[in-house]
A and B are shown apart, each in its own frame.
Chain A
Amino acid sequence: MIPAPEHLPIALRAYAVAPKARKPRDGIGASDWTLTFDCETRTDAGQALRFGAFQLRKGETVKFAGLFYEPQELSAAELETLRAYAKRHKLVVLTRDEFADDWLFLRAYQLRARIVGFNLPFDISRLAIDHGIARGAMYGGFTFAMSRQKFWPHLRVKHLSRRSQIIDFAAPRRQPDSRGQRKRGDKTPVRRGYFLDVSTLAHALLSRGFTLGELSRFLEVPNPKLEFDEFDGPVSDAILRYAVRDVQTTWECYAALMVKLEALELPDLQPEQIYSEASLGKGYLRAMGIAPWREVQPDFPDHLMGALMSSYYGGRSEVRIRREARQVILCDFLSMYPTVCTLMGLWRFVTASGMTWRDATAETQSLLASVTLEDLQTPEFWRRLPVLVKVLPDADIFPVRAAYQGEQLATIAANYLTCDTPLWFTLADCIASKLLTGKAAKVLEAVAFDPGPMQSDLRPVNISGESEYRVDPVETDFFKRVIELRKETQGRMNASSGAEKAVLNGAQHNLKICGNSTSYGIWLQMNVAKRSERFMTTVIGHDGKAFERETNMAEKPGEYFHPLLGSLITGAARLMLAVTESLIERQGLEWAFCDTDSMAIAKPAEFVGDEFRSRVQGIADWFAALNPFAFSGSILKIEGENDGLETGAPEPLFCWAVSSKRYALFNLGSDGRPVLRKVSAHGLGHLLPPYEAGNPPAGIPAPDDSVMRDGVQRWHCDLWFEIISAGLGSNPDMPRLDFHPATNAPAVSRYAATAPELLGWFKHHNVNRPYPDQVKPFGFLLSLSAKRNWARREIIAPEARKGRPRKVSSVKPIAPFSKDAATIAVTAFDRITGKMIPASELQTYREAVAPYHLHPESKFLNGDYVDRGTTNRRHIRASAIRYIGKEANKIDRQQVLGAESELDPKYGLSDGSVAQIREALAELVSLVGKAGAAKALHMPSGQIGLILSDRASLAGAAAGVLATVLPVELAQARRAAHAHQLEAEQLFLAVRTHGLRATARRLSVDASNLRRKIRKLSANR
């Protein structure tokens, strides 16, 4: 049954018009010189430089190696130790100033050396003597003064994500061009330098994060990182050996990664330009000679661009059975995005010189009217999906992006949607809606896209540089070929052993990166740059209309931006899940959760024996017909977690799901206790572990090694163990949270001061401190939370006050970096006021995770804190449309420091919605008066007047409140007005029938008053 509609503004992606694509300038690349360095710092909050080590190499050969030190930070004895060590090991010894002037600039800068380090921003910041806010293209980053000599340039660092940043030299102060050059307009390009962070390169090439120690062991370099933890002691031979080894290890890791990179045979890809796996994907496309779509079709019409962007939604991640232990079988689609790319034949669009479009309204209407589940079992059908459909949603199930239940950030859920304004969706979404609701959405218009002629100059590429992994973009579907090659390589790898197995493992890993990096993210890559000043930008909405908006966020599409592919890929993935959902329903089964490409199918209570498994197998087998690859089998796989840990045979697997991406899978041991198989760290990963794996709590069994992956730590497993144990017991709402003494310590998250505004949090701390003691850019900071009850006490004003209540902002505790819980507890302060916060007011781990197991699934009904069982789809009636830019911008920062909606570009309400809201507000005012409207909407009547007279813009919180509350209040006011009118009609009838005086007597009112009332009512009729 479709629930009653709720009025809620929905969010659509809009396209901020970007300048035409320009070919990136081909850089010359670094010379064969390399400067590798590493800094050792104090362990206090300032983390000031003590000393460091470096190597200058030409090619592989070390030309110079040495130590540098900060004279103010080392005692005479320490300096003596350092000099003696250097003499024994033939190292040069330099002060920090000498290192910066003679080695960083005179040599590395002038020789165009590649400057290599592990976590370079931190080391650069330690080496700097001053810092400021970067300007121009690097706004949002820092600029560092490295030398006291003014002719050397500053260094600039802009943080992009947890693992990537842009680092370059600023322009030097001197005039770089001769007078003749200036006359000719011949400008010398600024030497930006070549900075390579080994951590970034490793993450891109190996698709996981590493510490230097982990990386050195993973790459099996000859000199792995040494173990050392007495950083706060005096300078000794041990710490010097450790520092010198660190540089050697960094170099060896760099060299090993460069071998891997060169093996990929992507000559156009400079290592400094690799920020993530996506950079490799783009490198492959470039290697095949594929020109970006924005270059080959620069005149694509704006109205279609707006439609395409508005039809984009991310993957589905939902919980259907909440906070109930249910037996499930976890199923996962084989490489979901490359698979749907292959099925839809999207490679034709990638290699085409643009695309064409045609009206397909009639055929789409007829297709939607007749489509059945069986149609979707034919691969040919999926090639008809590159269609965009304009529909008038009327209780159809579509992806709906909204801030459910007043949440700060909008999330996406497949919900019932009703909207008075036509919206664009992919054909895949329309078919999914038909499958789930049984009725076709009302199609107003449909546009089918076809690829243009194939680009010329395409050339084959050898993936991993191996001729056996050759892919010809003209002859074959790249997505398909890569998956087939990987499958084949995995097969060979499983049958091999020793060195051959390692080689094949590397090859299949490269194929995986290649497949993943080219099949989704790069097509919708949008780079957001914050500007120092607000500016007007032209935005195109879903209706194709362009409008101007003021913003300080500049969105720039990535090199291979192609919104059609972005929309189609995720749309088809959602269709796959919708098909699975339909099959589950057909088989009489249920599902517990889904997450982009996987679904946990739940066993209904009435099923016994092998019936459940055989039905799930039937669902998996259904997808075998859709396998587009050369190898056989279904594209829906029953995952390994469904088999027992010891036996390897199928064993009942249970699920405890809380909300999207928060779930745990477990078996039941012989003692009835849970045996964890897979747990999610979502919502916990931002907290530093309260205790290490070596200090586990008593009474909780150690999880299997296979559970501790993808960032899952021991304490996550222990928390899930307690949540599930409570769930299986008699008190599911009260899991034991004091399972370890460390859970009573303040809950701490670690983040670096990666942006000027984050460093600004320390302005109270830094004031009156000498530079070395100040918290500096990229220094680590600790984020904590205040106890909730303490915050509440502040909010309630102690004495009665007149006028508007005082606005009390919540307390935001932070602390300078420390590893010691006791130090953290006494150094925490409020980042807004700078006031110290006592340890007793800080939230402990126990308190921080207390609501974790109750986290609401707000996007659905029956998903509130204490709700359990099946969640239900909401029915959203779109009360307004607001436009947004890239979602989850700076996601790493938002995950650790909490959601900050101002980090995401926003373009406000659509013009239609603004007009609609104004109209509705005017009607409400006419029905209940301005004061009544103000009371109902909880906003000042003056503001209502300003909005109605168009003197105040509808933006921010006011727009959200109006879009959500106004339709409800208006409906109520209409009902009240209608009831009032009915009463008046009855009164008129009574007066006509019985006369004025008799009616007044009956009603026990004064006849004169009744006459006046009737006159007034008559005038209003």
Chain B
Amino acid sequence: MTDKELAREIRKQRRLEKLGTNSPICGTCGEADYRTLEKHHVAGRKYDPDTVIACRNCHRKVSDDQKDHPAIDANADAMLSAIGMFLLGLVDLLELVIDKLSAFGLALIERAKLAGGEHAGETVA
């Protein structure tokens, strides 16, 4: 193991430690390269410490969506506000998942068509 490899391995283990798992994966798109993965505060960092793992792309998207969430009144009930923001954050994540699921479903149908054509060809042959 060269010094470079060792340094890279140390970076990897430090990252995994930060992510809190030895096998991290983006919860929305399935990306599993530890270098692209980050922790996303579902409700926003100000409101709740709970995080999920998201890749940089997805993280950017949901963080951007968070900017559209309503501003919280400083005198409002903190717990209810946190729950509200958490639910909104969850919706953002689920929207991404829905997009992904929909793309995945369509891709499967497309693949099924192709596979059906191939099988039909085999039968004809």
Taking Cβ atoms with an 8 Å cutoff, the residues of A that contact B are 28-29, 31-33, 63-64, 106-107, 110-112, 184, 191
Binary contact track B17-35/A, C-beta < 8 Å → 1, others 0: 1001110000000000000
Contact partners of B10 in chain A: CB under 8 A: 110-111
Whether A110 contacts B22 by the Cβ 8 Å rule is: no
Contact partners of B22 in chain A: CB under 8 A: 28-29, 31-32
* 11 A-B interface contacts by CB (under 8 A): A28-B17, A29-B22, A31-B13, A31-B16, A31-B22, A63-B1, A107-B6, A110-B10, A111-B10, A112-B13, A112-B17
B9 at the interface (CB under 8 A from A): yes
Contact partners of A63 in chain B: CB under 8 A: 1
Contact partners of A112 in chain B: CB under 8 A: 13, 16-17
Docked complex: B1-18 residues within 8 A CB-CB of A: 1, 6, 9-10, 13-14, 16-17
Contact partners of A31 in chain B: CB under 8 A: 13, 16, 22
CA distance A443 to B18 in the complex (A): 60
CA distance A98 to B46 in the complex (A): 45
Whether A110 contacts B13 by the Cβ 8 Å rule is: yes
Contact partners of A107 in chain B: CB under 8 A: 6
Most buried by B among A28, A29, A63: A28
Whether B20 contacts A184 by the Cβ 8 Å rule is: no
CA distance A602 to B109 in the complex (A): 81
Q: Which residue of A lies closest to B7 (CB)?
A: A110
- A111-B9, A111-B10, A112-B13 known; A28-B20 Cβ under 8 A: yes
Question: Chain B, interface size: which category?
Answer: 10 to 19
Contact partners of A28 in chain B: CB under 8 A: 16-17, 20-22
Q: Which residue of A lies closest to B46 (CB)?
A: A184
Closest chain A CB from B37 CB (angstroms): 14
Q: Which residue of A lies closest to B1 (CB)?
A: A63
Closest chain B CB from A96 CB (angstroms): 21
Closest chain A CB from B52 CB (angstroms): 15
B67 at the interface (CB under 8 A from A): no
CA distance A107 to B1 in the complex (A): 11
Contact partners of A184 in chain B: CB under 8 A: 45
Whether A191 contacts B17 by the Cβ 8 Å rule is: yes
CA distance A111 to B10 in the complex (A): 5
Closest chain A CB from B122 CB (angstroms): 38
CA distance A865 to B13 in the complex (A): 65
Contact partners of A106 in chain B: CB under 8 A: 6
Q: Shortest 9 CB-CB distances between A and B: which pairs?
A: A110-B10, A112-B13, A111-B13, A31-B13, A28-B20, A28-B21, A29-B22, A111-B9, A28-B17
Closest chain A CB from B50 CB (angstroms): 13
Contact partners of B17 in chain A: CB under 8 A: 28, 112, 191
Whether A64 contacts B16 by the Cβ 8 Å rule is: no
Whether A64 contacts B1 by the Cβ 8 Å rule is: yes
Contact partners of A32 in chain B: CB under 8 A: 22
Closest chain A CB from B90 CB (angstroms): 21
Q: Which residue of B lies closest to A184 (CB)?
A: B45
CA distance A997 to B1 in the complex (A): 118
Supply 13 further A-B pairs (C-beta < 8 A) apart from A31-B22, A112-B13: A28-B20, A28-B21, A28-B22, A29-B22, A31-B13, A32-B22, A106-B6, A107-B6, A110-B10, A110-B13, A111-B9, A111-B13, A112-B17
Closest chain B CB from A611 CB (angstroms): 68
Closest chain B CB from A671 CB (angstroms): 67
Contact partners of B20 in chain A: CB under 8 A: 28
CA distance A582 to B20 in the complex (A): 60
CA distance A184 to B10 in the complex (A): 26
Closest chain A CB from B31 CB (angstroms): 19
CA distance A655 to B9 in the complex (A): 65
Closest chain A CB from B87 CB (angstroms): 22
Q: Which residue of B lies closest to A27 (CB)?
A: B20
Closest chain B CB from A769 CB (angstroms): 39
Q: Which residue of A lies closest to B14 (CB)?
A: A110
Contact partners of A111 in chain B: CB under 8 A: 9-10, 13
Closest chain A CB from B41 CB (angstroms): 11
CA distance A110 to B1 in the complex (A): 15
Contact partners of A29 in chain B: CB under 8 A: 22
Contact partners of B9 in chain A: CB under 8 A: 111
CA distance A553 to B10 in the complex (A): 40
Docked complex: B93-114 residues within 8 A CB-CB of A: none
CA distance A64 to B5 in the complex (A): 14
Q: Which residue of A lies closest to B24 (CB)?
A: A28
CA distance A63 to B21 in the complex (A): 23
Closest chain B CB from A204 CB (angstroms): 23
CA distance A890 to B12 in the complex (A): 41
CA distance A29 to B22 in the complex (A): 7
Closest chain B CB from A612 CB (angstroms): 64
Most buried by A among B13, B17, B21: B13
Contact partners of A191 in chain B: CB under 8 A: 17
Closest chain B CB from A113 CB (angstroms): 9
Q: Which residue of A lies closest to B21 (CB)?
A: A28
Closest chain B CB from A766 CB (angstroms): 39
CA distance A642 to B13 in the complex (A): 60
CA distance A236 to B16 in the complex (A): 43
Contact partners of B14 in chain A: CB under 8 A: 110
CA distance A112 to B10 in the complex (A): 9
CA distance A575 to B60 in the complex (A): 67
Closest chain B CB from A233 CB (angstroms): 35
Contact partners of B13 in chain A: CB under 8 A: 31, 33, 110-112
Q: Which residue of A lies closest to B11 (CB)?
A: A110
CA distance A623 to B50 in the complex (A): 56
Contact partners of B1 in chain A: CB under 8 A: 63-64
Q: Which residue of A lies closest to B10 (CB)?
A: A110
Closest chain B CB from A547 CB (angstroms): 37
Closest chain B CB from A102 CB (angstroms): 10
CA distance A63 to B22 in the complex (A): 20
CA distance A29 to B16 in the complex (A): 10
CA distance A110 to B8 in the complex (A): 11
Q: Which residue of A lies closest to B18 (CB)?
A: A188
Contact partners of B6 in chain A: CB under 8 A: 106-107
Closest chain B CB from A617 CB (angstroms): 58
CA distance A63 to B17 in the complex (A): 22
Most buried by B among A29, A33, A111, A184: A111
Contact partners of A110 in chain B: CB under 8 A: 10, 13-14
Closest chain A CB from B30 CB (angstroms): 20
Q: Which residue of A lies closest to B45 (CB)?
A: A184
Binary contact track B34-55/A, C-beta < 8 Å → 1, others 0: 0000000000010000000000
CA distance A64 to B1 in the complex (A): 9
CA distance A31 to B34 in the complex (A): 14
Contact partners of B16 in chain A: CB under 8 A: 28, 31, 112
Closest chain A CB from B20 CB (angstroms): 5
Docked complex: B43-92 residues within 8 A CB-CB of A: 45
CA distance A930 to B6 in the complex (A): 80
CA distance A33 to B17 in the complex (A): 14
Closest chain B CB from A955 CB (angstroms): 47
Closest chain A CB from B58 CB (angstroms): 22
Closest chain A CB from B15 CB (angstroms): 11
CA distance A33 to B10 in the complex (A): 11
CA distance A111 to B17 in the complex (A): 10
Closest chain A CB from B107 CB (angstroms): 32
Q: Which residue of B lies closest to A110 (CB)?
A: B10
Closest chain B CB from A509 CB (angstroms): 30
Closest chain A CB from B106 CB (angstroms): 35
Closest chain A CB from B55 CB (angstroms): 19
CA distance A1012 to B1 in the complex (A): 107
CA distance A948 to B11 in the complex (A): 70
CA distance A38 to B5 in the complex (A): 26
Closest chain A CB from B121 CB (angstroms): 42
CA distance A424 to B21 in the complex (A): 49
Contact partners of A33 in chain B: CB under 8 A: 13
Closest chain B CB from A191 CB (angstroms): 7
CA distance A776 to B98 in the complex (A): 62
CA distance A106 to B14 in the complex (A): 13
Contact partners of B21 in chain A: CB under 8 A: 28
CA distance A86 to B20 in the complex (A): 39
